Chain A
Amino acid sequence: MPVEQFEDESINKGSKKPSESDMLYYYKRLLPFRQIFQWLSHSPKPTKDFTFREFAYEHRSGAYQRYNSYTSLEDFKQTVINANPTRFEIGAVYKINPKDRKNLPKSVMKPVSKELVFDIDLTDYDDIRTCCQGTDICCKCWKFIQVGSKIIEFSLRQDFGFQHLIWVFSGRRGAHCWISDIRARNLDENSRRSIVEYLDILGKNGNKKSIKKPYHPHIERSFEILKNEFNNIVLTDQDPWFTDSTMSSDSKNWKCVDDLLSFIPNKELSKELKSKWQKDIHSTSKDKWEDINTIASKVLKSKSEVNYLNDAKKDIIIYFMYPRLDIEVSRQIIHLLKSPFCIHPGTGNVCVPFNPFKNISDNKEDDEYGFNPLNSPNIRDIQNELENYNKGNNELHDWEKTSLKPYIEYFSHFVNELTKEELKKRSRDNENENNLEF
C-alpha cells in the first residue's frame, strides 16, 4: 500500500526521477542501513523486532512486493541492493517471520507491534493554499506542515508522554512522524484510533461545526501556537480571502470568503460584511479580518454576541491551520510507510528526518523555515557532492561527505537515545526474571 503514487512526468521534470543506477549507487554508498537497522531492532544486534518485521518493495515496474524480512544488517543491505527497488517501506513486526507465512495458517500472521505513525500532507490544504496546488509545494505552504508538526509533537510528548519520535520529510509535500516508544509500538488499533481521533479535532473532511467550548487543553494549546502564525501564514502568505472588483462571484476567492463567512455566528453581521466586501475595489485577507471587528462593533449589541464572535474567530484560526491527518495510516498496525532516507521516486528527494523546531541543515538560508524542503538533499546533489569530495579522508563514511551528514547525525542521535532506553529496559526485565527464579 504505497502512500504516494508515481506522478506523471508532465508535472515532474523527467530529469528529477532517479535512474536505476542512481538508486544502486545510493543504496551501495549512501543510505544509512546501519542506523535504520538499529532503529528497528532497538538494539545494535538483530532482535525479533527486526527479523520478524515486514518490509515491502516498490519496483520500477510498479510491482509491489510485500512480506520481505531480513536476518541481519548485512542481509538487509545486500537484499535491498540486489532488489534495487525504487523505494522500500516498513511494516509491522509479526508473531512469526513474515517469510514463513506461506507454510503456516493465515491466523498466525498477526501483527504484534509497530511504531505509531502520523502522516500530514499538503494536498489536504488545497482549500486554503493559494501559493500552490496538488503536488507542488513551496516554502510558504510548507509552513502549514511546520506548524502542524509542532502541534502534533507537543501533544504526543506532553499529553501521551511519548519521547522517541522523529519527523521525516516524505520527499515531496508532506511529513511522517514515527513514534518509537515501546508503549507506542505495542498499542492496539483501538488505542491508535483514539489517539488520532484525539488529535484530529477537525474530524473527517474538516468538519466545520464549531468546536466545543470550553476548549480542551490540547485545543487551547494548539490555538496558542496557531494564533501567532495566523497573521503570517494565512493573512499574509496565502491571502485566501483577497478579492477585487474584477473577480466574478463564483471565483475560488469568493468561495473562500463564503467559507469564512459561514463561521460568523451572527446573520446580520455576515450580511453586512459581505455587502461591504462586494463594494470594495480591493480587499485583502488582512483587511477583511479587521473589517470583522469594525463592523461587529456597529452591529453586535450584547456582550454575549461579542463572545460568540470571538469564539468563532478562534474556530476560524483553528479550522484553517490545524493539521489535517490521515487516520488510516495511523490506525492500522499493518499499514506500511516509506522508510526514512528512501528516495522519493518522483522528485529524487531524500526522505530526511527534520526537527520542526530548529533547522538542522547547516544552511543559514533555511533557518527561517526550520526545515526547507526546497533545499533538502536530493539524490543528484549528493552524488555530485560525493564525487567531488577530494579531501581524500578515508576515515569518513561516504554520507559524511555529503549534505546528508547533519540529517544522518540527527537520526543517529535519535536511534541512540532509543536504544539506550531499550537496553535499560531489557536489563531491568532480565533482573526481574532472575529475581523470580532465585
Chain B
Amino acid sequence: MFRQVKRRTAGRRNFEESNNKKLDYDLPKLYSCRLSFYDLPPTREITLEEFEKWAIDRLKILIEIESCNARSKSLKEIESSIRGLLLKYLPLSENQNIEERMKDHYSHYILRLVFCRTEELRKKFIKNETILFKVRYNSLQPREQQEFIELNKYKLSSWEYVTPQEKSELFDKLFASSYLMLKSHFLSGGENLTYDEVKQHVLIKENFIKLPFEKITNLVGTRSIYLHNGYGYLPTSLQLNLLSIEFQENLSLQLMKTFQTIPRLEEDDRLLPLLNNLSKSFSSFKYDTEMDPALISDINATSITSNSISKHFPLCAKHLQNNLIANSHLKYGGRQQLGLFLKGIGLNVDEAIKYWSHQFTKGGSMTVDTFNKEYKYNIRHQYGLEGARINYKPWDCSTILSKPRPNKNEYHGCPYRDFSIDKLVSSLNSMGINDQQELNSIVDDVGRHDYTIACTRVFELTHKSQIKNSQDSHINHPNLYFDRSRLLERGQNKEA
C-alpha cells in the first residue's frame, strides 16, 4: 500500500495549521449536526484511495453547481439539479451516519487544498461551496435548522428572536421594510407573489430575529430591513443569507490560511500530483459511458443516418455526419471525433466498418479495397482491436476544445466555438430555435467562450416540451447530450 504515517502527518499538519490553534474535540460533537461551518479540521487517518474518491465525489457536485450557476439557475433549480447527485455521491441523511458526515467533512477539507492555490479557484470554490451550503440548509428540517443555529451560537451570539407580541406591534413597519427584499427572494425561487400574498406570508410564516446593525451593513445601506434602536430586524426567509455570508467569509479566510501552508505539503510527493489532477478535472470532467445492450439495439450502420437517431446528435456530431455524407470523406480529426462518438452511442465495430466503408465509397471516388487498406485499421484501432489495444473513450467537450481548430475542409471541433455567428444562427434555426431572445442568449454564451453552456442551453431549448422539472444538468460531453436526449424521448414514449 503506501506510507500511512507520512500521509497522515502531511495532511494533518496542514489542516491543523489552517486553523491556527490546538483543538480538542471528539467525533460525536463534530458530527452532531449534518450541516457544518467546517470550523474543525479532520484528524483521523484515511487511505489515499478514500482521499481521492471522496474528493472526486464532492467535485462532481461542485461542477454541477458551477454549471448551473453559469446558466443563472435559481437556487431552487440548482437544488433539483443536484438532488440526485447528492444522494449518490455525498448523501447526508438525518440519522447520525458518521461515515457520511466524515466523507462530507474530509472531502471539503481536501478540496480546500485543491482550490486554495489561485484567486480564481478560491473564488469558484467559495461560490460553489456556499451554494451547496444553502441547498443543504434548505433541506434541513426546521428543527435541525434551529439546532444548527444553536450549535453555532458562538458565532451567531448576537441573534435574538423577536417575540410574537413585538412582531405584531411592529408589523406594518416590518412589512414595509422587508417587502421588496422578500418579494425578490421569492422571485429568485421562482415564485411571483403579489403584494398581498407577501403580506400574508410575513404575517403568518415569518419570524424575525434582531441583531446589531453592524452585522448586516449591506442590508442597512439598502434600507432592506427595519431598524430600531441599533438593531436590524431580519425575517426568517432571509436568515440563510446571513448564515451564508458567515460561511463565505469564514471559508475565504480559511482558504488563504491553507494557501499559505501549501508549500509544506509539497514535501509529500504523492499528494501533489493528485491535487493537481483534481483541480484540472474541475474544468474537464470525464463522462463515463455505460452501455446497456437493450438500449442500443436500434443502433446500426444505416439507422444512425436516419432522423430518428441523428436527431439526438449534438451539433458537433451532426455537423460531422452531414459533411461525411455530403463529401463521402472526413479527414483524420473528424474521423476520430465522430468515430469515437458513434462508438459511444453503441455502434459496434462491425457496424462501424460497414458505415464508414459505405460513406467513403458511395460517391465512387474510392473503392472498397482502398478503404479496407487505408481506413479499416484505423477504425479497429478506435475500438481497441489494433495497436496498443487501448479502449479509446469518446472525446468529451474539453478534449474536443483542446484539439487544434479545424482548417478548411475539416469538420471536427466544437461548432459553438468554430462557426461564424451567422452560420451558427442558421444551424440553430434548422434545429428549431428561432426566438430572437433565445438565440441571443446562446450567442452571449458563445461570446463568453462558454461553449458547453451554449450547447446545454440548446439542449434545453430543443427539449423544452420533454423536460418536466429541471433535473437536467450541464452537458460537457457529446455522448451525454445524445444519451439524455434519447432518455427523454423514451420517457415520453412510455407515458404516451
Contacts and interface: CB of A to CB of B under 8 A. Distances in A.
A217 B231 contact: no
B221 interface: yes
**B180, B230, B231 — which one has the most chain A CB atoms within 10 A of its CB?**
B230
Interface of B: 173, 175-177, 179-180, 213-214, 217-218, 220-223, 226-231
A158 interface: yes
Contact of A217 (B220, B221, B226): B226
Given A158-B229, A215-B176, A195 B223 contact: no
B177 A161 contact: no
Contacts of A162: 230
Contact of A195 (B176, B177, B220): B220
27 contacts: A158-B229, A159-B228, A161-B231, A187-B214, A188-B214, A190-B217, A191-B213, A191-B214, A191-B217, A191-B220, A193-B217, A194-B217, A194-B218, A194-B220, A197-B220, A197-B221, A198-B221, A201-B223, A212-B180, A214-B175, A215-B176, A216-B176, A216-B177, A216-B223, A217-B176, A217-B226, A218-B223
Contacts of B228: 158-159, 161
A183 interface: yes
A218 B223 CA distance: 9
A6 interface: no
Nearest to B174: A217
A188 B221 CA distance: 14
Nearest to B222: A197
Contacts of B223: 198, 201, 216, 218-219
A160 B213 contact: yes
Contacts of B177: 216-217
Q: Is the interface of B mostly helix, strand, loop or mixed?
A: helix
Given A187-B214, A194-B218, A214 B179 contact: yes
Contacts of B218: 194
Interface string A157-169: 0111110000000
**A159, A188, A212, A220 — which one has the most chain B CB atoms within 10 A of its CB?**
A159
A183 B214 CA distance: 10
A195 B222 CA distance: 10
Interface string A249-279: 0000000000000000000000000000000
**B175, B177, B214 — which one has the most chain A CB atoms within 10 A of its CB?**
B214
A217 B229 contact: no
B13 to A, nearest CB: 30
Interface in A213-231: 214-220
A194 B173 contact: no
In this complex, the interface size class of chain A, counting residues with CB under 8 Å from chain B, is: 20 to 34
Given A160-B230, A218-B227, 15 more contacts: A160-B213, A160-B227, A161-B228, A187-B214, A190-B217, A193-B217, A194-B217, A194-B220, A198-B221, A214-B175, A216-B177, A216-B223, A217-B176, A217-B226, A218-B223
Interface in A191-216: 191, 193-195, 197-198, 201, 212, 214-216
A183 B231 CA distance: 12
Contact of B220 (A183, A198, A220): A198
**B217, B218, B231 — which one has the most chain A CB atoms within 10 A of its CB?**
B217
Contacts of B220: 191, 194-195, 197-198
Q: Is the interface of A mostly helix, strand, loop or mixed?
A: helix
**A162, A212, A217 — which one has the most chain B CB atoms within 10 A of its CB?**
A217
A162 B214 CA distance: 13
A366 B218 CA distance: 41
A220 B180 contact: no
Nearest to A215: B176
Contact of A159 (B214, B217, B221, B227): B227
Contacts of A183: 230
A162 B397 CA distance: 59
Contacts of A191: 213-214, 217, 220
A187 B214 CA distance: 8
B171 to A, nearest CB: 12
Given A160-B213, A214-B179, A216-B176, A194 B221 contact: yes
Contacts of A194: 213, 217-218, 220-221
B196 to A, nearest CB: 12
A309 B277 CA distance: 63
A344 B222 CA distance: 36
Nearest to A201: B223
A295 to B, nearest CB: 29
A217 B229 CA distance: 13
A380 B220 CA distance: 45
Contacts of A216: 176-177, 223
Contacts of A193: 217, 221
A314 B138 CA distance: 40
A216 B177 CA distance: 5
Contacts of B214: 187-188, 191
Contacts of A214: 175-176, 179
**A161, A188, A190, A212 — which one has the most chain B CB atoms within 10 A of its CB?**
A161
A38 B433 CA distance: 75
B160 to A, nearest CB: 14
Nearest to B227: A159
A181 to B, nearest CB: 9
Contacts of B229: 158-161
Contacts of B226: 217
Nearest to B180: A212
A190 B213 CA distance: 11
B187 to A, nearest CB: 15
A197 B220 CA distance: 8
Given A187-B214, A190-B217, A193-B217, A198 B180 contact: no
Nearest to A197: B221
A220 B220 CA distance: 16
A358 B218 CA distance: 35
Nearest first, the 7 A-B pairs at minimum CB distance are A161-B230, A194-B217, A197-B221, A194-B221, A161-B229, A159-B227, A194-B220
B136 to A, nearest CB: 29
A351 B220 CA distance: 32
A424 B227 CA distance: 26
Nearest to A190: B217
B222 to A, nearest CB: 7
B188 to A, nearest CB: 18
A222 to B, nearest CB: 12
A120 B173 CA distance: 28
Contacts of A201: 223
A165 to B, nearest CB: 13
Contacts of B230: 160-162, 183
A138 to B, nearest CB: 33
A236 B144 CA distance: 62
Nearest to A195: B220
Contacts of A217: 173, 176-177, 226
B176 A198 contact: no
B201 to A, nearest CB: 15
Contacts of A160: 213, 227, 229-230
Contacts of B231: 161
Contacts of A219: 223
Contacts of B176: 214-217, 220
A215 B227 CA distance: 14
A183 B226 CA distance: 19
A216 B179 CA distance: 9
Contacts of A218: 223, 227
Contact of A198 (B173, B175, B179, B227): B227
A180 to B, nearest CB: 15
Nearest to A217: B173
Nearest to B217: A194
B228 to A, nearest CB: 6
A101 B222 CA distance: 38
A76 B381 CA distance: 91
Contacts of B222: 197
Contacts of A159: 227-229
A268 B222 CA distance: 33
A326 to B, nearest CB: 16
